[in-house]
Amino acid sequence: MRSDKYSLKKVIPKIVNDLIRVGNKEKDGGYVISKRQVEKTKVLMGLGINYDWTFEEDFKKQNINTKIYCFDFSVGLPVYLKSFISSTINVLSLNSYTKEVFNKRSPIPVFKKPISDLGTYFSFKSFFKPEKGNYFFPKGISDTSESVFITVDEMFADVPDFKSLPENSIYVKMDIEQSEYDILEFLLEHKTKINGFAIEFHDLKHFWKDFNFLMDLMSEDYAVIHVHGNNCCGHIPGTEIPNFIELSLIKKNLLSEEEINSQNHKTYPIDGLDKPNLINRADLKISFR
């Protein structure tokens, strides 16, 4: 039975006609945003990349003048190299191969893993180069500064001439494993410069009050233009609301009056734009009807 406690009424998307998928075209790593945001952006902040920076790469292809600043304390060249060495040792020792055969599974992925890891290493090394305007920092973003974490203000301090950037010139992509609830208020202190967000909100069943508070806060200046449920973790128990949800938001002053007053009651996902995060599972439906 659906619980009355939960509702997605606050995130019914507005109707805009220039939505595009940026990033991975087949699975996790792609987000649906407005083309006008790509065109206006001078600085893209990628908070959390893990092993996938296709969003940043695709964004740059569509606006070559964009400067990319990515932050993630959990990855980087040493991490990718270590993974390659470990997977290579597994192949040479035949431990993983034997285990897969014993469990009657195909051993082919074991042999492919070192190749994939090496590809990740060189892809990262090729993309993140200061001379290309693509920067990577092995730091996490938090509400306090300690150890591998820095604050939002410290993050923006790494962007040269940040204070002189014009209005609506920054776009923020954020997938930082629950830290979104800690830092979003601090990001909104710079809302004049930020034209929009693509955010994955994690574990809504435990952070529902925080999520609602942030939606109320963001609705003052931003509007939701797309919603997608991450099929990794099912629904909030007793509801049809995904436990992990991806939201795309745009600054309201980039919308027409007609767009602001609209409500998109389509059933999501949308063919041609949305893809399941995990390709071996069905995508999660979201209905606002």
Residue 83 sits in the same domain as residue 203: no
Type of residue numbered 183: I
- Domain assignment present for residue 224? The answer is yes
3-state secondary structure 4-54: CCCCCHHHCCCCCCCEEEEECCCCCCEEEEEHHHHHHCCEEEEECCCCCCH
The domain boundary, picked from 93, 114, 131, lies at: 131
Residue 126 sits in the same domain as residue 265: no
Give the pairing of strands 43-47 and 67-71. parallel
- For the chain, how far is it from start to end, CA to CA, in angstroms? 17
Residue 88 sits in the same domain as residue 184: no
pTM of the entire predicted model? 0.92
Q: What is the DSSP letter of 163?
A: G
Q: What is the pLDDT along the chain (289 residues), one digit of tens a residue?
A: 334 488 999 999 999 999 999 999 999 899 999 999 999 999 999 999 999 999 999 999 999 999 999 999 999 999 999 999 998 988 787 666 666 655 667 767 777 889 999 999 999 999 999 999 999 999 999 999 999 999 999 999 999 999 999 999 999 999 999 999 999 999 999 999 999 999 999 999 999 999 999 999 999 999 999 999 999 999 999 999 999 999 999 999 999 999 999 999 889 999 999 999 999 999 999 988 7
d(CA 192, CA 214): 17
- Domain assignment present for residue 284? The answer is no
- Domain assignment present for residue 272? The answer is yes
How many domains are there within the chain?
2
Contacts of 224 (CB under 8 A, 6+ apart): 11, 12, 13, 14, 247, 248, 249
pLDDT value, residue 107: 65
Residue appearing with tokens 């991806």: 246
Residue 208 sits in the same domain as residue 176: yes
Which residue segment(s) compose the domain that 194 sits in?
9-74+138-279
In the structure encoding, which two tokens stand for residue 63, read together? Answer: 């606006």
